[in-house]
Amino acid sequence: MKKLREFLDPPKVLVLGFLTIILIGTFLLTLPYATINGDGLSFLNALFTATSAACVNGLVVVDTGSTFSTFGILVILSLIQIGGLGFMTFATFFAVLLGKRISLKERLVLRESMNSSSIEGIVKLSKRIIFFTVLIEIIGAIILSFRFAADIPTGKAIFFGIFHSISNFNNAGFDLTGEFKSLTHYVDDSIMTLTVCALITLGGIGFIVLNELYEYRITRRVSLHTKVVLATSFVLTFGGTILILLLEFGNPKTLQTLSHDGKLLAALFQSVAPRSAGSSTLNMADLTQSSLFLIMFLMFIGASPGSAGGGIKTTTFATLLGAVWSQIKGKEDVVFFRQCIPFNTIYKALTVTVSGLFLAVVLTMLLTITENNQDFLMILFEAVSASSNVGLSMGLTPDLSPIGRILVIIAMFAGRVGPLTIAYAIATKQEANTFRYPKGKMMIG
């Protein structure tokens, strides 16, 4: 047992924990009463769906609303909630309720799962996460239930409201509207658009940021992390909205036929959702190539650290831009809000970006082999969406071959847990270097 505890370091615990949740979800979705037709899903389709839900991705091979029974939908919803918040957050919360002491190792795993830099106050933060989640999801569910009640029976509307609130706050993107349509029926609906955008944004900025904003009334200050997250998120949302509005303004399949308010709402939604949600109010296949490329760029950046979202994260993107700008200006330090960024943070940002890019490129390359009869742009879009844990699709996912589905499953898992976490979990412990090699010169650029 002692050797086992030493072997199970935080990265290994996270990887094995997510694998366990996915396998349990897979088993439950293969049961006959998980689907409406009473046959259950095949193992591969169940594995794909469970992975997509637990990794809060949103890519689906079968339509959620028309395929699953109430039991199946509740299984998916549970996987989304556990996967979005992290299984360690739930385990810690229930341990505290039972009066169990949280060990140092459990705190280290919590820190790893939340991508936090310190274990100080980590248990308190995990309890706050539950509080924020329940509060925001209840408010979102109430608003969405009232909106759905205008179109469907009240009981069903409440169920839809709860499901879509949890799904979008956790940046999962699963929906019950049927026929793989996502939220396209509500493209110019202000209540639906603004509510879902708010849920996606609050779930994507990270719980550390939410906690600091909650405590601002007492502390009257926020950290550099929060400042960078909020500033970068605002620029990406505002800039994405304007660009999509300009690129799609004359497209008869998307914005051209909408009112001025409808155009703005649709552009806003398509700017917010690629940041790791997966819901959409426009058919992705109808967008222009320039808009699709922009959306892939937003998907690759993704949400913020410590959130349910994927991508390389907003702080990583901001750090790289800051490093490039410093080089252009001939300065040695990267400075944000009058604070210098440590070099190890810049190296980590570069490593995360290259790892994410490598995962997307490799998946694209492999899918061009397994799905060689499909359009390359569709393959590239699907690969970026899967590896960045977004869930937007141009319609390729249901038509993927069995090997293609397995590749996307692996990419979704790697994108959620993180390529670096998987690498740390696999790698053996290395001793620190006791010597350094002499510096060499090499030309760059």
Question: Could you give the CA distance from residue 326 to residue 335 in angstroms, rounded to a whole number?
Answer: 8
What is the Cα 315 distance to its own chain's centre?
15
Question: Could you give the CA distance from residue 337 to residue 348 in angstroms, rounded to a whole number?
Answer: 20
**Does 110 map to a domain?**
yes
Question: Could you give the CA distance from residue 152 to residue 101 in angstroms, rounded to a whole number?
Answer: 47
**Does 165 map to a domain?**
yes
Encoding tokens for residue 28? Answer: 């439950």
**pTM for this predicted structure:** 0.88
Q: What digits encode the pLDDT tens for the residues 321-364?
A: 999 999 998 888 899 998 999 998 999 899 899 999 999 999 99
Q: b/e for 109-131, b at 16 or more Cβ within 10 A?
A: bbbbbbbbeebeebbebbebbbe
Angle at 285 between CA 374 and CA 266, to 5 degrees: 160
Instruction: Calculate the alpha carbon distances from 442 to 308, 332, 335 in Å.
Output: 40, 18, 26
Question: Could you give the CA distance from residue 303 to residue 273 in angstroms, rounded to a whole number?
Answer: 10
In this structure, what are the phi and psi dihedrals at residue 334, rounded to the nearest 5 degrees? -100, 120
From 229, 196, 181, 178, select the one nearest 337 (Cα to Cα): 229
Those residues with Cβ within 8 angstroms of residue 257's Cβ, 6 or more apart along the chain or in another chain: none
Structural domains in the chain (count) = 1
Question: Could you give the CA distance from residue 36 to residue 143 in angstroms, rounded to a whole number?
Answer: 28
pLDDT of residue 281: 92
> In 273-375, where does DSSP find H-type helix?
289-301, 314-329, 343-370
In this structure, what are the phi and psi dihedrals at residue 19, rounded to the nearest 5 degrees? -60, -40
R_g (Cα) of the chain, nearest Å: 22
Those residues with Cβ within 8 angstroms of residue 13's Cβ, 6 or more apart along the chain or in another chain: 88, 109, 112
Angle at 237 between CA 65 and CA 311, to 5 degrees: 65
Bridge partners, residue 340, by sequence: 335
**Does 34 map to a domain?**
yes
Taking every pair of Cα atoms in the chain, the longest distance, rounded to a whole number of angstroms, is: 73
One digit per residue, the tens of pLDDT, for the chain of length 445 reads 555 555 556 667 777 888 899 999 999 999 999 999 999 999 999 999 999 999 888 899 999 988 999 999 999 999 998 888 775 565 555 555 555 565 655 566 556 555 555 566 666 777 788 888 889 999 999 999 999 999 999 999 999 999 999 999 998 889 998 778 888 899 999 999 999 999 999 999 988 898 889 888 888 889 999 999 999 999 999 999 999 999 999 999 999 999 999 999 999 999 999 987 888 999 999 999 999 999 999 999 999 887 878 899 999 999 999 999 999 988 888 999 989 999 989 998 998 999 999 999 999 999 999 998 899 999 999 999 999 989 899 989 999 999 999 999 999 988 887 765 665 555 555 555 666 778 777 877 6
> In 149-259, where does DSSP find H-type helix?
154-169, 190-204, 207-219, 224-248
In this structure, what are the phi and psi dihedrals at residue 338, rounded to the nearest 5 degrees? 65, 30
The DSSP-derived string for 258-276 is: S-HHHHHHHHHHHHHGGGT
Encoding tokens for residue 388? Answer: 């960045």
Question: Could you give the CA distance from residue 249 to residue 256 in angstroms, rounded to a whole number?
Answer: 6
- Say which DSSP state 303 is in: S
First-last CA distance in the chain: 52
**Does 243 map to a domain?**
yes
Q: Are 125 and 113 in contact (CB under 8 A)?
A: no
Question: Could you give the CA distance from residue 40 to residue 32 in angstroms, rounded to a whole number?
Answer: 4
What is the three-state SS of 216-241? HHHHCCCCHHHHHHHHHHHHHHHHHH
**Does 438 map to a domain?**
no
- Say which DSSP state 332 is in: S
Structural domain including 292 reads 2-426
**Does 335 map to a domain?**
yes
| Residue at token pair 């997509």 | 52
**Does 273 map to a domain?**
yes
Q: Are 300 and 377 in contact (CB under 8 A)?
A: no
**Does 434 map to a domain?**
no
